[in-house]
């Protein structure tokens, strides 16, 4: 039976032979939606990638939300990629999977449209995808070709999530590498896995797993450095995707693989077979020779991949837990953050203008100027509560030397007497001072309070002088005022609230004054 001719060609190697399409060209997809091409931002294996916009009235800006991948119509990879996206790349299908698995996110891109276009009598095929952020290969190179254990293993968990989704729909990816992994538009997680041009089904039309048979048309497909042993043989499998991820992890952590630089596909395949059959020698070659300690989780992962059969369904949860535990054992917290501490990777945040900026955004308007008054108000004087207060005093009589004060001992406590309360640390529990220095200070305070006495106070003082026989000094009497009270006229009167002797003297003076009046 003669095989029907393919609708596309399988090129022997990835070479870009397409001609550039100028900016401003309008493409119409299968749903009659029009897309306007912008500048080319990259070259793929068989074509180019352009910025695009669905707004035809304006030029395509650099901040566009879409990209268009364009390849010659007979190019096989884009034909395959469009069919893969049509099956598993619809947004509602992806969201349903995320809800069913209770995931926060999934790095599976969704496609927005596809179709064909004629330019200069040549036919092209195109697909429209969301625009994502920077690719991990660029980050890897700018990080000195080394990722930390946390970064590498966290990346692995994101890739395993996408692989589980792809495998659950009957496809394998077959070309996992850093250049096909991108961050989102703001250079954050999750990590999206792109380029499904080499994807293929591992189930037949009946639903049975394909046999381990060599297909020379697919032999050595993928990126030679990372191609799995099954792919070198010409048979793609789920275990092959996990093996490719393992090779990527070794490169991310150590910086290179033993067979890098070798362009002979058969020699590279033999090297991989020898290395994977003797994992200890493989690990020594990759890590020990570079004076590095191999992560135990990576060794266990490669051993697990080695044990998988061609038709085996991988235990994705086991692999994820292996890497999550390794991140914690390394002293990190597994929070899904890649910890890419690269300054050039940080995206500048949009600065929101304050209200004054928004109100004065017209350059023609005169800017508002804050005028300074001719006679500005003087700052308040520092209040010195230890100075004598009189009826006409409006400011402190003592000028503080602040530099001298601030240069003093920082640990020395400074107490300020309140106008109405006396510090409790100067008194004992009975209200009597026990320090002679405190008593002397309190005497000074008491006499300063009598410098400007009221008429009633003068009368009392005169009576006290006449009564020399009365001793007002008593051991049980506090010699400084415990309260400063205000009279009805607003004048300060100093009295001792704690001394009973003074109260007795006042009563005697009152009685004598009454007797004299009589």
Predicted local confidence at residue 431, as pLDDT: 43
Mapping DSSP to helix (H, G, I), strand (E, B) and coil, where does residue 232 land? helix
Q: Are strands 181-182 and 171-172 parallel, antiparallel or unpaired?
A: unpaired
Q: Which candidate in 135, 161, 175, 195 is catalytic? A: 175
Residue 104 sits at φ, ψ, to 5 deg, of: -75, -35
Rounded Cα distance between 10 and 197, Å, is: 11
Share of the chain above pLDDT 90, in %: 53
Paired tokens of 295: 């992560």
Predicted local confidence at residue 205, as pLDDT: 85
Higher pLDDT, residue 245 or 13? 245
Paired tokens of 126: 């195109």
Superfamily of domain 26-130: Phosphorylase Kinase; domain 1 (3.30.200.20)
Rounded Cα distance between 227 and 357, Å, is: 56
Rounded Cα distance between 333 and 337, Å, is: 9
Share of the chain above pLDDT 70, in %: 67
Q: Given this chain, do its domains 26-130 and 136-338 carry the same CATH topology?
A: no
- Token pair 């380029």 is found at 195
Q: Is position 175 annotated as part of the catalytic site?
A: yes
Report how many helices (DSSP H) and strands (DSSP E) the chain contains, helices first.
15, 12
69 belongs to an annotated ligand binding site: yes
Listed residue (215, 208, 245) closest to 231, CA to CA:
215
Domain spans in the chain, listed from the N-terminal domain onward: 26-130, 136-338, 424-517
Q: Of the ranges 153-162, 210-219, 271-280, 335-344, which one carries the lowest mean pLDDT score?
A: 335-344
Q: 433 falls in which pLDDT band (50, 70, 90)? A: very low
pLDDT value at 341 more than 80: no
Task: Please give the CATH topology (third level) of the domain spanning 136-338.
Answer: Transferase(Phosphotransferase); domain 1 (1.10.510)
Q: Of the ranges 32-36, 74-78, 395-399, which one carries the lowest mean pLDDT score?
A: 395-399
Q: 511 falls in which pLDDT band (50, 70, 90)? A: confident
User: For the residues of 36-76, what is the DSSP string, one character each?
Assistant: EEEEEEEE-SSSEEEEEES-TTSPPPTT-SEEEEEEETTBH
Predicted local confidence at residue 410, as pLDDT: 53
Predicted local confidence at residue 376, as pLDDT: 54
pLDDT digits (tens, 9 = 90+) for 356-401: 444 445 444 455 455 555 555 555 555 555 555 555 555 555 555 6
pTM strictly above 0.75: no
pLDDT value at 251 more than 80: yes
CA dihedral 454, 456, 457, 463 (to 10 degrees): 150
Peptide bond into 319 cis (omega under 30): no
pLDDT digits (tens, 9 = 90+) for 446-479: 555 566 677 777 778 777 777 654 454 444 444 4
């Amino acid at each position: 039976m003669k095989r029907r001719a393919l609708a596309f060609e399988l090129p022997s190697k990835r070479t870009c032979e397409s001609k550039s399409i100028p900016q401003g060209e309008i493409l119409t997809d299968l749903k009659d939606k029009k897309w306007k091409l912008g500048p080319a931002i990259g070259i793929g294996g068989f074509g180019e990638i352009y910025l695009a916009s669905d707004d035809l009235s304006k030029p395509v800006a650099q901040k566009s939300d879409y990209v268009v991948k364009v390849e010659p119509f007979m190019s096989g990879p884009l034909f395959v990629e469009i069919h893969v996206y049509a099956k598993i790349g619809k947004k509602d299908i992806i969201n349903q999977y995320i809800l069913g698995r209770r995931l926060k996110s999934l790095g599976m891109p969704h496609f927005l449209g596809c179709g064909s276009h004629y330019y200069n009598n040549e036919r092209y095929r195109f697909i429209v995808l969301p625009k994502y952020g920077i690719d991990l290969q660029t980050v890897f190179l700018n990080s000195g070709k080394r990722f930390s254990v946390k970064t590498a293993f966290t990346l692995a968990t994101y890739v395993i999530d996408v692989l589980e989704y792809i495998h659950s729909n009957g496809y394998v990816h077959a070309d996992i590498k850093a250049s096909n992994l991108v961050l989102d538009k703001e250079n954050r997680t999750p990590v999206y896995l792109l380029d499904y041009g080499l994807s293929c089904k591992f189930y037949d039309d009946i639903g049975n797993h394909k046999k381990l048979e060599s297909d020379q048309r697919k032999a050595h497909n993928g990126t030679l450095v990372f191609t799995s042993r099954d792919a070198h043989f010409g048979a793609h499998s789920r275990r092959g995707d996990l093996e490719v991820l393992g090779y990527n992890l070794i490169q991310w952590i150590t910086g290179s693989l033993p067979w890098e630089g070798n362009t002979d596909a058969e020699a590279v395949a033999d090297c991989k077979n020898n290395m994977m059959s003797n994992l200890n020698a493989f690990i020594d070659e990759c890590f020990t020779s570079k004076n590095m300690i191999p992560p135990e989780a990576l060794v266990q992962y490669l051993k697990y991949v080695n044990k998988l059969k061609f038709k085996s369904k991988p235990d994705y949860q086991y692999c994820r837990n292996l890497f999550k535990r390794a991140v914690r054992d390394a002293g990190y917290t597994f929070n899904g953050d890649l910890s890419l501490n690269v300054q050039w990777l940080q995206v500048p945040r949009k600065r929101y203008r304050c209200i004054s900026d928004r109100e004065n955004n017209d350059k023609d308007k005169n800017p508002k100027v804050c005028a300074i008054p001719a006679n500005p108000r003087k700052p308040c004087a520092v209040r010195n509560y230890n100075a004598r207060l009189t009826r006409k005093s409006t400011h402190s009589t003592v000028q503080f030397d602040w530099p001298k004060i601030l240069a003093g001992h920082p640990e020395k406590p400074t107490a300020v007497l309140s106008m109405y309360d006396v510090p409790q640390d100067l008194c004992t529990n009975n209200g009597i001072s026990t320090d002679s220095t405190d008593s002397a200070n309190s005497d000074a305070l008491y006499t300063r309070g009598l410098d400007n006495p009221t008429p009633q106070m003068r009368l009392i003082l005169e009576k006290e002088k006449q009564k020399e026989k009365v001793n007002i000094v008593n051991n049980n009497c506090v010699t400084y005022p415990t309260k400063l009270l205000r009279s009805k006229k607003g004048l300060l009167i100093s009295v001792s609230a704690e001394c009973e002797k003074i109260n007795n003297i006042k009563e005697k003076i009152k009685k004598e004054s009454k007797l004299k009046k009589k």
